[in-house]
Amino acid sequence: MTTAIAVLWSVWLAACGSSAGSDGASSAASSANAQTLSTSGAALHRDGAFMVDADNRVVLLHGVNAVWKLKPYYIPQTAQGFTAADADFLAANGFNVVRLGVLFAGVMPQQGVIDQNYLDQVDNTVQLLAAKHIWVLLDFHQDQYNEKFQGEGFPDWAVSPSLLPNDAHYGFPLDEFLSLALNGAYDKLWANHGGIWDQYQAAWAATATRFRDQPFLLGYDLFNEPWPGTLWATCFEIDCPLFDATLQKFQQQALAGVRSADTSHFAFFEPQQLFDFGAPSRFGKIDDPALGLSWHSYCSAELLSSTGLPDLPDCAILEPRTAGNAATQSAAMGATSLLTEFGASDDLGDIGRVTRLADQHLVGWTYWSYKSFGDPTGAAGAESLFSDDTDLSTLKAPKADLLIRPYAQAIAGTPQAMSFDTTSKAFSLTYVPRSSTAPTEIFLPARQYPNGYQVSVQGAQVVSAAGASLLRVMNNAGASQVQVTVTAAR
């Protein structure tokens, strides 16, 4: 995207958006002792707006995306890709979920033929994560449909012949707005041209069959960033109920494929892509007990990250709006909510805003992206956690300071509020206790508390060892509310 077009688009987005107790003390925490929330890996389930574990604790997730968009569409077990060292890094720093890319082009490279070897290769990464008790969300990822349009996701056989010349040469995401050929391909998808929906459903059925018994499987993200095709202009600022109805129908058919094999794990719907920039979504109620809304939050911070220009006002307007839209849409669907993409740049102001919003809305997240993974539609290294993807010692410290943060991984109650002040290092959690014999578990990274921390608890008792990076508190019998406050030791 050229700088001029990026600026104009962001200004327009901004204009559109504007219309609308007992005390205890712990000493130095050690990230080497970091643990994740569950030891069983049993499927999580939904209780109202929240994900809940087998011990009846509300679960919050912080993690990353890991998507290899290039052929052969799975992450290699190399230093540039993903190895046991990467799984160790994530677990040690409190990340308890990974949104892992699985491409339709890899699952069904030939029409009607499932490539089991491809799923085996995906499983290599799944096993590395499960061994560290990190939840895995399998994501059927696509951007700009197919390599023919400078994107990825759909196999070549799913690209129907067209009389239009291939004019997808503007780059991501401008091709989505300007390419007639690309938008024509999406139009054919949403019209179920050639019965493509049945093939997509079959690919999901095969994937769910392969992974349904996998411990630490969070579930399935049914379609990354659905682009409305030629209807995109009707979906920017106003409702586009016609496309939303079609998209819901498409994802419900994909859901049927998943549910033919797996009725336990979460299945996440995604709204049309312009939702990411503040547009609404109007999915109706969906009768499924393990339903989720997977949503993204982006603004000019990502569009301008490679230009050196400052953020425009749209971010402060659109990011809260998107979070509010997600809460409204997930409630209307009868679903839990997970922010599955944000960031994609080294813009610290943007990352800080979105993580604060996630805490305010008590929603988990997966940052885009763990590494760059040769992303053809990404921001050339800016999105990664590392300066050099092959060297974990090159962690970008300012970004890590925002993402490796205190949070409640498992709450023996219904959360009311959670916050972390990146300046003072004060963390606070308030919840109403619920029936559970397991403790509330709060990750407290040494990165934030190098000299240790102090804990003040009302309505519960600290039961973890001094200095533990996973603070555990047990509810007091009869307590009507629990409040936990953590401050940095001096």
For 158-192, the pLDDT digits (tens) are 999 888 899 999 999 899 999 999 999 999 999 99
Tell me what pLDDT residue 309 has.
65
For 213-244, the pLDDT digits (tens) are 999 999 999 999 999 999 999 887 667 899 99
For 402-454, the pLDDT digits (tens) are 999 999 999 999 999 999 999 999 999 999 999 999 999 999 999 999 999 99
For 113-155, the pLDDT digits (tens) are 999 999 999 999 999 999 999 999 999 999 999 999 999 999 9
Q: What is the mean pLDDT of the chain?
A: 91
Give the pLDDT band (50/70/90) at residue 300: confident
For 57-66, the pLDDT digits (tens) are 999 999 999 9
Tell me what pLDDT residue 122 has.
98
- pTM over 0.85? The answer is yes
Mean pLDDT of 7-16: 43
User: Residue 301: which of 347, 240, 260, 256 has the closest Cα?
Assistant: 347
CB-CB neighbours of 213 under 10 Å: 9
Tell me what pLDDT residue 258 has.
98
Tell me what pLDDT residue 141 has.
98
Query: Is 33 buried (19+), middle (13-18) or exposed (0-12) by CB count in 10 A?
Result: middle
Q: Report all structural domains of the chain as residue ranges with CATH numbers, in order of start.
A: 3-20+43-406 (3.20.20.80)
**Lowest model confidence (mean pLDDT) among 36-50, 96-110, 376-390:** 36-50
User: Residue 218: which of 133, 301, 91 has the closest Cα?
Assistant: 133
Mean pLDDT of 62-75: 97
